């Protein structure tokens, strides 16, 4: 709040006073007062007015800066009416009342949205758990009737499962509460488990796998990490080369970090696009050419999950030759949840 | 194959229960199931199985509570089966006294491996995973990766060993090529169909050298049999 702005807003008062002063001065002059007397009266009037405006300016400035400070420190700014003082002036009180009512309706609206979103998420989660039952049943039926066509069913079932899992993790990554547990995990086991889960696709794609990693303990959540690794595998398979496709999996120690590198020799990502592959909904040239169903959600979920697990996910690639996805794990502090 | 253990399935979903039952029966286990879930812990105790496959979400009752009740009086091994798959769920399963945990939808080989592992721990069974297997006079030594007949011995590579191990587990049966590849992928050998043929050819050569030619039969379009 500047003094100049304040004066401008008080222009009415100043003009009214100036007009009254002019009328008074003319009147005093007409009833034979001396010029000195009139000037003195005018000066005193002006001074009193000026002092009044100054006092009011400072009191207002203090009042508003207090509110601004409170507002700045408030994470939910729509709660301002609950924490600010109503002020002593009638206008302040009225504005406060208006603000409070408007805030209240916003809060109610937000609450309603939160509730419906929560219900929606809970429904999706329970749906996912429901759909796992028939998937399990189909797996068992296929296990009991091993034939060529049940192999094909299992293959398609893997696809369904992968999509269902994606939805599950998409719902989970938005959630405030934690349903993961960061603890020391044997990374090699997680990688093997991810390979096992995707084996039918790997075999189908004639993908060769070079697994060259020692036992390595990293702080993460194995379920989430496995999901992330599976998404990376799934991309490697989608964008593989026709013959001689291979994935190399190895570990590296870079700058106090343990990292897992998953490198394929697929079609790679062009330089303009590489920075955007973790964005939501980004499909890129490869997504449009090679795979019409690319949704651009897989790697986005990976990035968000990595953020939660305090892992890093990076990509290095050269179009037409390789794509290297690097997952980094913090080296220490297992115990910070 | 003798009975490998008595399993009890506690699962409310009928299709899963039936299919799981026949799958486990086919794998050589003795299997029974519960149909009534009003008094599960007492029923389990009365049944006294070697292992319980316990669904966490049963109508009206919580598998975790059941496990807690059982643990008051018995150490019967329990593997939880659940649709939830977070680490927190896993933790609560283990904390309530479960021996292991598997989430739906599970891969059958994984389920079988867990069942076998828990039984091995609790029953002290070794027969399924003995380190030396013998069939038709040919001895497969898993620990030292060797195949021998009489005094003739040949070293095996990791891939060859795993292929033979799989065939030895199904003596006299035709193992389809796809099943063999599947098994190998579950056991850290990531090879395709062609590489499998190459490896089997190498194994045959070694078998010939030790005087066990025709030990592995090829069934065209089907698979291999020892």
In a 13 Å sphere around the CA of A192, the CA atoms on its Cβ side amount to 17
Q: Are strands A246-254 and A217-220 parallel, antiparallel or unpaired?
A: unpaired
Other Cβ atoms within 10 Å of B215 Cβ, number: 22
Task: Quick: pLDDT tens for A114-126.
Answer: 999 889 988 988 8
Please list every residue in chain A whose beta carbon sits closer than 8 Å to the beta carbon of residue B86. 179-181, 223
pLDDT at A189: 92
Instruction: Tell me if chain A has a CB within 8 Å of the CB of B23.
Output: yes
Q: Within B30-189, where are the H helices?
A: 40-47, 63-73, 87-95, 108-123, 158-168, 177-186
Nearest one of A324, A242, A334, A332 to A290, comparing CA atoms: A242
Nearest one of B93, B91, B17, B88 to B62, comparing CA atoms: B93
pLDDT at A320: 87
Cα(B33)–Cα(B224) distance, rounded to whole angstroms?
A: 35
Instruction: Tell me if chain A has a CB within 8 Å of the CB of B94.
Output: no
Instruction: Tell me if chain A has a CB within 8 Å of the CB of B110.
Output: yes
Nearest one of B143, B131, B134, B8 to B79, comparing CA atoms: B8
> Contact A179/B106, CB-based, under 8 Å?
no
Residue A265 to chain B, least CA–CA distance (Å) = 17
Task: Quick: pLDDT tens for A40-52.
Answer: 999 999 999 999 9
Residue B125 reports pLDDT greater than 70: no
- Number of inter-chain CB pairs under 8 A, A vs B: 88
User: Looking at this predicted complex, what is its ipTM?
Assistant: 0.75
Residue B196 to chain A, least CA–CA distance (Å) = 12
**Where is A51: in which H helix or E strand?**
helix A35-72
pLDDT at B1: 41
Cα(B94)–Cα(A212) distance, rounded to whole angstroms?
A: 32
User: Are the CB atoms for B53 and B7 separated by under 8 Å?
Assistant: yes
Instruction: Tell me if chain B has a CB within 8 Å of the CB of A161.
Output: yes
Q: Percent of chain A, pLDDT > 70? A: 96
Task: Quick: pLDDT tens for B161-195.
Answer: 999 988 988 888 888 888 888 889 988 888 888 88
Residue A270 to chain B, least CA–CA distance (Å) = 30
Read off the pTM: 0.75
Other Cβ atoms within 10 Å of A172 Cβ, number: 23
Cα A215 → chain centroid: 34
Task: Quick: pLDDT tens for A240-270.
Answer: 888 889 999 999 876 678 899 999 998 889 8
Q: What one-character-per-residue DSSP string does A179-190 give?
A: ----EEEEHHHH
Cα(B19)–Cα(B16) distance, rounded to whole angstroms?
A: 5
Give the closest of A130, A144, A223 to B85, CB-based: A223
Instruction: Tell me if chain A has a CB within 8 Å of the CB of B125.
Output: no
Query: CB within 8 A of A20, min separation 6: which ones?
Result: none
Give the closest of B85, B88, B185 to A181, CB-based: B88
Residue A335 reports pLDDT greater than 70: no
How far from A257 is each of A218, A284, A330, CA to CA, in Å? 10, 30, 6
Task: Quick: pLDDT tens for A104-155.
Answer: 999 999 999 999 988 998 898 889 888 988 999 999 999 888 888 888 898 8
Mean pLDDT of chain A: 88
Chain A, residues 214-253, CB within 8 A of chain B, namely 221-223
Instruction: Tell me if chain B has a CB within 8 Å of the CB of A169.
Output: no
pLDDT at A336: 45
Range B57-64 average pLDDT: 85
> Contact B16/A133, CB-based, under 8 Å?
yes
Residue A177 reports pLDDT greater than 70: no
Find the radius of gyration of the CA atoms of chain A. Answer: 35
Residue B12 to chain A, least CA–CA distance (Å) = 11
Confidence of residue A191 (pLDDT cuts 50, 70, 90): very high
Please list every residue in chain B whose beta carbon sits closer than 8 Å to the beta carbon of residue A206. 192
Nearest CA in chain A to B177: A148
Residue A292 reports pLDDT greater than 70: no
């Amino acid at each position: 709040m500047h003094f100049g702005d304040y004066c401008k807003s008080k222009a009415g008062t100043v003009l009214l006073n100036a007009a009254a002063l002019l009328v008074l001065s003319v009147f005093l002059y007409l009833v034979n007062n001396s010029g000195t007397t009139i000037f003195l009266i005018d000066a005193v009037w002006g001074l009193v007015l000026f002092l009044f405006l100054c006092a009011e300016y400072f009191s207002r400035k203090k009042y508003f800066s207090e509110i601004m400070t409170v507002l700045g420190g408030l994470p939910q700014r729509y709660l301002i009416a609950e924490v600010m003082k109503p002020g002593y002036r009638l206008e302040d009180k009225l504005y406060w009342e208006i603000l409070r009512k408007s805030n209240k309706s916003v809060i109610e609206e937000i609450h309603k949205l939160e509730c419906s979103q929560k219900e929606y998420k809970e429904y999706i989660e329970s749906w996912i758990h429901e759909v796992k039952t028939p998937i399990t049943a189909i797996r068992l039926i296929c296990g009991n009737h091993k034939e060529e066509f049940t192999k094909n069913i299992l293959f398609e079932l893997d696809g369904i499962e992968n999509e269902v899992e994606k939805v599950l993790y998409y719902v989970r990554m938005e959630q405030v509460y934690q349903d993961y547990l960061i603890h020391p995990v044997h990374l090699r086991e997680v990688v093997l488990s991810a390979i096992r889960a995707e084996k039918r696709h790997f075999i189908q794609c004639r993908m060769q796998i070079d697994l060259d990693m020692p036992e390595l303990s990293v702080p993460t959540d194995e379920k989430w990490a496995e999901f992330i690794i599976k998404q990376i595998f799934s991309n490697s398979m989608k964008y593989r080369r026709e013959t001689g496709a291979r994935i190399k999996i190895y570990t590296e120690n870079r700058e106090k970090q343990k990292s897992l590198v998953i490198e394929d020799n697929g079609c790679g990502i062009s330089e303009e696009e590489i920075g955007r592959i973790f964005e939501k909904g980004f499909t890129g040239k490869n997504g449009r050419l090679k795979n019409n169903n690319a949704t651009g959600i897989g790697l986005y979920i990976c990035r968000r999950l990595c953020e939660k697990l305090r892992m890093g996910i990076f990509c290095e690639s050269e179009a037409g030759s390789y794509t290297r996805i690097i997952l980094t794990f913090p080296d220490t502090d297992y115990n910070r949840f | 194959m003798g009975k490998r253990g008595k399993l009890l399935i506690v699962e409310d979903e009928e299709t899963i229960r039936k299919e799981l039952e026949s799958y486990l029966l086919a794998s050589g286990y003795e299997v029974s199931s519960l149909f009534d879930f009003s008094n599960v812990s007492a029923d389990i105790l009365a049944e006294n199985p070697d292992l319980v496959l316990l669904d966490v979400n049963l109508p009206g009752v919580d598998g975790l509570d059941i496990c807690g009740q059982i643990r008051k009086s018995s150490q019967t091994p329990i593997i939880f089966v659940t649709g939830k798959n977070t680490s927190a769920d896993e933790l609560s399963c283990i904390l309530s006294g479960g021996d292991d945990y598997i989430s739906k939808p599970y891969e059958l080989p994984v389920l079988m491996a867990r069942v076998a592992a828990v039984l091995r721990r609790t029953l002290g069974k070794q027969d399924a995973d003995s380190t030396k297997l013998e069939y038709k006079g040919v001895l497969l030594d898993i620990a030292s990766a060797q195949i021998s007949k009489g005094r003739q011995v040949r070293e095996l590579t990791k891939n060859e060993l795993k292929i033979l191990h799989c065939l030895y587990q199904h003596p006299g049966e035709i193992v389809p090529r796809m099943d063999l590849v599947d098994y190998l992928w579950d056991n850290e050998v990531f090879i395709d169909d062609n590489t499998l043929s190459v490896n089997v050819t190498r194994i045959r050569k070694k078998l010939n050298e030790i005087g066990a030619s025709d030990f592995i039969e090829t069934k065209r379009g089907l698979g291999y049999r020892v």
